Structure 1
Amino acid sequence: MTLDRYMLRLWLGPFFGGLVFVLAVMLLARALKLLGTVSDTAEAWSLIVDLLALTMPFFLLQIVPMAFFLSLQNTITGLQQSSEMDVLRGSGLSYGRMFRVFFIVVPLLWLGLTYIAMVQLPQGQLGFNNILAKIYAMKGAISFAPQRFTRGLDGITVYVDGEDSEGTYHGLILEDHRGGVSVIYTAKSARFDMGGEYLLLKLKDGVRLEGEGADQRMLAFDRYQVSIALPAGNRKILHSNDHVTMMTVPELWHAMHNSQSGAAVAEWNRRLLMPTTTLVLLFFALPLSLTQKRSGKAGSMIGGIALLVMVYNLQLLLYQQVNQGGFPGWSMWMGQALLLFTGMFLSKRAEADRLPKLFSYIGEWIYLLHQAVINRLSRRWNADQA
């Protein structure tokens, strides 16, 4: 038990560190992408936070297996570089005994990821798509053709001379006859922003005219804001059964068996298959980490990253083929099973200290390439300093 706790402690730090770092990078990249979509709304940052929260299930399904695998590689190579693994092996411990705690960690991760894939992922997709649909509906409702009278909203008529690249309208005339009394606004410029279920019309340098004849009142303003309720019909509310990626487990099961849809079959198998990636990567961790000591951690980490690229691309390729009806659903599991048996075979060879020579050659090649790059950079640095 002491050894198990020690191994777990070595692994936990890099695991959570890598998980938080990669998750932060992916969330930042998604936030920057979303900012261009929602930047012209009054609730931009609030919407971005909501959208990022809804994408968390998808990101976790991608990142957790990677963080588990790379942190396990870091643990194994660290033990090898410090010669602790030589001492443990010399005392008669097998690799299986050294790392048996991870055969408990993997089922726990699998259970958590399966719940995320089957329950949280479709809920997140539904919420994400509904928010985007709301944003796009808002944008569509406030888009006005220059030099034409537009009656896109009940009780509102709008005329604009033009629109600049930043979405600001110029030369605006708006007639508001919702209350039975005509109110006319003219402004040099105006912007539409989203505020909850309302459009906020922000006018600059204009005049407000209300009433007719002797009862007409005029108000000149530098800034003025008009609130316009958004009609419910302008936005379509999406439901879980609108697309397979948003379906609940019963809905997806029903669609898969009744419609024989390739998309439903692919989505069902994808949700079940993705959490099993941690088990596949567990068996690859040891053989890919037992490199020559002088190559350091670089060789094993590069090999691990290459494996991750191969695994995820194979899963994506098979998913696309099943989705298009080219392959049956079980082909996705055949690809996963092939990877699993390959990892188990290599892990067994590593336990017997009989890894294929190719692994040693790859590690040596990576080491030499790494050294060549370091030397080249060092020479260039010295030349620049001189």
Structure 2
Amino acid sequence: MTIDRYLLRLWIGPFMGGIFFVLAVMLVARALKLLGAYSDNPETWSLIASLLLLTMPFFLLQIVPAAFFLSLQNTISGLQQHSEMDALRASGLSYRRMFRAFFVVAALLWGGLTYISMVMMPEGQLGFNNIIARIYAMQGSISFAPQRFTQGLGGVSVYVDGEDEQGVYHGVILEDHRNGSSVIYSARSARFEMGASYLLLKLSDGVRLEGEGADQRMLAFQRYQVSIPVPDATRRVLHSFDHVTMMTVSELWHKLQSGDNHAAAVAEWNRRLLLPSTVLVLLFFALPLSLTRKRSGKAGAMIAGIVLLLLIYNMQLVLHQQVSQGTFPGWTMWLGQCVVLLIGLYLSRRAEEDRLPALFMRLVNPAG
């Protein structure tokens, strides 16, 4: 038990640090993307924070297996580089005995990730889509900030100097480029009225400019109206049964049995079960990919581990796409996973026997 606690202490720090660091990077990247798209309305800031929380289940399904695997590689490589592995082997401990605690850890992580994948991820997807719909609806409730161009109105940009107590805007400039050519309106004042699916701009005392150069035409007006289609402010609320990625376990299972849109349901069902199993597959690669020569350091092992992660994740993505399109049957997603697992089991057994294939060792540690 002492060796188990010692190895777990070596592993837990890099594991937790890796999760927090990568999760922070992914959330910041997603936040910047969302802010760039939806930051015009001040209320969207709180909604964007909710969006980031709702994306965490999917991110965790990607991050946790990778963090488990890379931190375990780091632990094994550290023991190897400092000759602690040799001392443990000389005392009669096998590799399997040294790292038995990580089989328990992998099983616990697999159980937790399965719950995240089957329950939390579809709930997060549903909440995410509903918040995006709400943000779009909010964009239909138009308000204009003084001395700032408001864009995103279907090809129309609006600038106002200010607004009085009666809700009348003053110093209004409007550019309409919906038809491929720019039409500019300049008005002393304007009122904006929302309809069911449009925004009506009632301009007063201004000019309308159309065309360029010698073809430019100017029209002075006392009253002029411009109608702009806007998103429906009463966009309907999405429900879990609207798409397979948002369905509960029972709804998805029922859809599988009904045969309606069968390919998409099969792909989603297998994806939810397969993603958590990646942590079990990676467990068997940690030892063989980490037994590098002492003089080579950890770099070769870690690079090989990252390459393996990229190969597995891309294989899963490609097979999921093919199954969802009906090109491949659902079991092919598991075939790819099982092939990788068998390779890991083979290499793990050879590592236990200190007989890793020479070609494999040259690939992992080409400088050796």
Q: Would you say same fold, with TM above 0.5?
A: yes
Q: Which residue of 1 aligns with 2:329?
A: 328
* TM alignment of 1:16-27, pairs within 5 A: 16-27=16-27
User: Do residues 162 (structure 1) and 163 (structure 2) align?
Assistant: no
Give 1:231 shift: 11
Mapped partners of 2:116, 2:186: distance in 1:
48
Give 1:44 shift: 3.4
Give 3-state SS (helix, strand or coil) of 2:174's partner: strand
Would the alpha carbon gap of residues 94 and 25 (structure 1) be closer, same or farther in structure 2, given more than 3 Å must change? same
* Aligned residue type for 2:302: M
Give 1:163 shift: 4.3
* Aligned residue type for 1:131: I
Give 3-state SS (helix, strand or coil) of 2:297's partner: helix
Give 1:18 shift: 0.5
Mapped partners of 2:326, 2:38: distance in 1:
36
* Aligned residue type for 1:326: T
Mapped partners of 1:177, 1:292: distance in 2:
71
Task: Please tell me whether the aligned partners of residues 4 and 99 of structure 1 are also in contact (alpha carbons under 8 angstroms).
Answer: yes
Give 1:364 shift: 3.6
CA deviation string 1:62-95 (max 9, x = no partner): 0000000000000000000000000001111100
Task: Please tell me whether the aligned partners of residues 38 and 47 of structure 1 are also in contact (alpha carbons under 8 angstroms).
Answer: no
Normalising by structure 2, what TM-score?
A: 0.78
Task: Please tell me whether the aligned partners of residues 157 and 176 of structure 1 are also in contact (alpha carbons under 8 angstroms).
Answer: no
Task: Please tell me whether the aligned partners of residues 106 and 278 of structure 1 are also in contact (alpha carbons under 8 angstroms).
Answer: yes
Mapped partners of 2:66, 2:99: distance in 1:
18
Would the alpha carbon gap of residues 170 and 52 (structure 1) be closer, same or farther in structure 2, given more than 3 Å must change? farther
Mapped partners of 2:231, 2:76: distance in 1:
60
Would the alpha carbon gap of residues 88 and 139 (structure 1) be closer, same or farther in structure 2, given more than 3 Å must change? same
User: Do residues 173 (structure 1) and 190 (structure 2) align?
Assistant: yes
Give 1:360 shift: 2.4
CA deviation string 1:147-172 (max 9, x = no partner): 9xxxxxxxx9999751499xxx9745
- What is the percent sequence identity of the aligned residues? 64
Give 1:359 shift: 2.6
Would the alpha carbon gap of residues 287 and 164 (structure 1) be closer, same or farther in structure 2, given more than 3 Å must change? farther
Give 1:36 shift: 1.1
Q: Which residue of 1 aligns with 2:105?
A: 105
* Aligned residue type for 1:116: I
* TM alignment of 1:301-316, pairs within 5 A: 301-316=302-317
Mapped partners of 1:322, 1:61: distance in 2:
20
Give 1:176 shift: 6.1
User: Do residues 277 (structure 1) and 278 (structure 2) align?
Assistant: yes
Q: Which residue of 2 aligns with 1:7?
A: 7
Give 1:234 shift: 2.5
* Aligned residue type for 1:80: Q
Would the alpha carbon gap of residues 39 and 91 (structure 1) be closer, same or farther in structure 2, given more than 3 Å must change? same
Give 1:246 shift: 0.5
Normalising by structure 1, what TM-score?
A: 0.74
Would the alpha carbon gap of residues 72 and 234 (structure 1) be closer, same or farther in structure 2, given more than 3 Å must change? same
Give 1:269 shift: 0.5
Mapped partners of 1:325, 1:177: distance in 2:
45
Q: Which residue of 2 aligns with 1:375?
A: none
Mapped partners of 2:186, 2:255: distance in 1:
50
Task: Please tell me whether the aligned partners of residues 80 and 290 of structure 1 are also in contact (alpha carbons under 8 angstroms).
Answer: yes
Give 1:308 shift: 0.1
Mapped partners of 1:319, 1:47: distance in 2:
30
User: Do residues 243 (structure 1) and 243 (structure 2) align?
Assistant: yes
Q: Which residue of 2 aligns with 1:89?
A: 89
Give 3-state SS (helix, strand or coil) of 2:118's partner: helix
Mapped partners of 2:156, 2:347: distance in 1:
67
Q: Which residue of 2 aligns with 1:360?
A: 361
Mapped partners of 1:257, 1:115: distance in 2:
22
Give 3-state SS (helix, strand or coil) of 2:70's partner: helix
Q: Which residue of 1 aligns with 2:53?
A: 53
